Structure formats: C-alpha cells, structure tokens
Structure 1
Amino acid sequence: MSEHIVWHPAAITKADRQNLNRHKSFVLWFTGLSGSGKSTLANEVDRQLFSIGVRSYVLDGDNVRHGLNKGLGFSIEDRVENIRRIGEVSRLFVDSGQVVLTAFISPFREDRDRVRQLFEPGEFIEVFADCPLEVCEKRDVKGLYEKARRGEIREFTGIDSPYEAPLDPELKIDTTSASVEECAKQVIRYLQNNGMIGLESQIP
C-alpha cells in the first residue's frame, strides 16, 4: 500500500448507524456446496429480516461475478481473491450499520477464517448449509455437476476441487430436513437469542 494513502475517519460511527437502525450490524456468511441451498436460504432470511424492519442485503456469488468480480475465474488463486473482495465489501456493509448476507461456496477454511478476522467478535456468523453431495447433484438445476463429471468444467468444488466444511460454525443448517422457511427461522431465532435483533420481532 502506498505511504500516501491514509485512512480517513468517518464523522458518523458504526454505533451511531446501529442506533439509528435499532439493530446490530453483522455478516451472515452462508457457505456450502453448489446446490446446498445457501442462496435460497440467504434470500429467505433476507425476506424475513425485511419483514421485521431489519436493514439487510444479499451478496450472491453468481451476481457478484457479473460485476465486481467478473474478471475472476475459478482457479484456486481467483477463488481466494473472490472471497477476499467479498470480505472487504461485507466489512463496509457492517460498518454502515447494515446486515449483509453472503452466499458463496467459499470452499476453503483458511479463506473464511481470514474474512472472520476483518470483523469484531460476534459480527461474523458462519452459516453452514449442510447438504450431502449426492443431494446437491440431484438438485442441480444448472447442470453444473453433470458438466463437471464429464470434464467440461474443471476445478469444480465437490468433484475435482475440495470443499472444507466448517469445523465450528455458529449455525449448521440441515437443508434436507426442513422447508426453506423453517431453516430461515432457525437463523432468525439464533439472531434473536444472541441479541443481534430484537426479541419482540415477529415474522409475519
């Protein structure tokens, strides 16, 4: 970094923005295999948060690659950079007093742990969308697993590139045993029980 670049402090603090919003700001980091349901779950949690007045926004893996990260491929190096950028953007959202939900495979523990270090204790909530590979393949509406099995897609997570499941996530959601609405309510209950959003908030 250039010695001429200096951090400029903001006039309005994160605490000020949290007080205005009447809830804490944090990142819900959804991780899991392709087809595990993390994007669907993140969006349902976002919908439920919106319904109770929580300011939140979803950063989805595919959507971000249309803009911010469109120049990145799927090599290990590019995946590391992909997650680094998302971590930094998420930190800006949290600093702005909002809740950010990220839905990325983010297959490597080291990368997720590195992002965690960007946040204050309690601000990074790792949500593991737990779903067996065989179920993910059956759900594969994009046909990506089939292409990976045929060798048309290289370094595809779960096929010829590893997925390192979280060892101690804040939340582990079995996306095969309940509806997406109920899975989302598990996340909402965690946030309420840990004082991240108000206990009085009721999902319509």
Structure 2
Amino acid sequence: MKNLAYVDPPMTERIEGKTYLMAPCPRPSHNVIAGNIFSIFHHYLKGKKCRAFGDNMDVHLDNENVYVPDVMIVCDRTKIHRDGLHGAPDLAVEVLSPSTAQRDRGPKMRHYAAAGTKEYWIVSPLGKSVEVYLGENGQFCLDYIYYAEYPEDELARMEDSERASLRHDIPVSLYDDFLVSVKEVFEDVDDFL
C-alpha cells in the first residue's frame, strides 16, 4: 500500500545547485497561514493582471535555484509555463518551519532579491509576525515587522506615540490600495499551534 503522506516523486527545491527534499507534511499551522494568505491574495487579485499561486509550483530562478514558495504573486504571465514559473515572482511568501528557516532567510532570500522579486514576506507562525522586505538594487531591505498581537506588558512599556504608530495592515507594494490585515493572516491558527 502506498503511503499517501509522501508525494511520488518527492517534492524538492534546488538551492545553489544542491537538491533538498521538502517536508511532505508541514504543520497544520503552516497550512492555515499559507491558505489564509493565498485566499486574501486571490480574492483581491480577481479581475486584475497579477495572479496568486499557492504551494506546489516550481519557481525556476536559474539552473541552480528552483524554489517552491508557500504563496506568490506573479504579474508577468509570460513567465508561467507548464513546468512552473521561469523568472522571479513579484511577491514571494515563505512561512517558516524549523527545518527551512535558515534557507528561507539566507540563500533563498538573496536569490529572490537578485532575480528581481519586488517583495518578500517571511511569516513566523510561533511569533505571529510578518517580516516584509522590499527589493532595491538586487537586495532586500526590511520595510517593517507586523505582529498579529502584542503582549500586554510590551504595550504597557510603550509610549502613547509608539502604540499609536503600530501598524496592523500590510500595504502590498504591487498596488496602491492593497492592504492585508495581519490578524487575517493568522486567523484560526491558534487551534493548530
């Protein structure tokens, strides 16, 4: 009998020429968050030029680097081929897992930036945070870290002006009116942490 938890052939990513097996079953919190983000992106992008894609689509940045982001937005549809995306997505999202965090923050982040990805999100299920990086001259610069919730003791230590300046909506750089609520990114995730 075939073990249905594994994909045949197994999903892989190629990072700097080295092939890595992808975990066949991410944690439920990972799937909930990625699903929430895809749903938000998909809903907003209906009828627009750009398109949202979820997990299971290869991104061929070059021969040495083939990734499978958790969620992405692609605006240049000529890059989409039967075997995946050839070139940089406009926005890529990686939901952190203990086994992949170092690669997501290291070589993958560098290669997405060098290839021309405009925006890169690193989402932490445990920290309930979204780090937003914007592309600039082939590198990413941290724009802001958004939190779904702040501990009461942290809020108590902040000045009124600091509390007032906290941001709760992520402006997606691809459109002037595209805001993503951080709370919606983490909606229903508490049941799966």
Higher share in helix: 1
TM-score (norm: length of structure 1)? 0.34
Return the structure number with greater relative CO, CA threshold 8 A, min gap 6: 1
TM-score (norm: length of structure 2)? 0.35
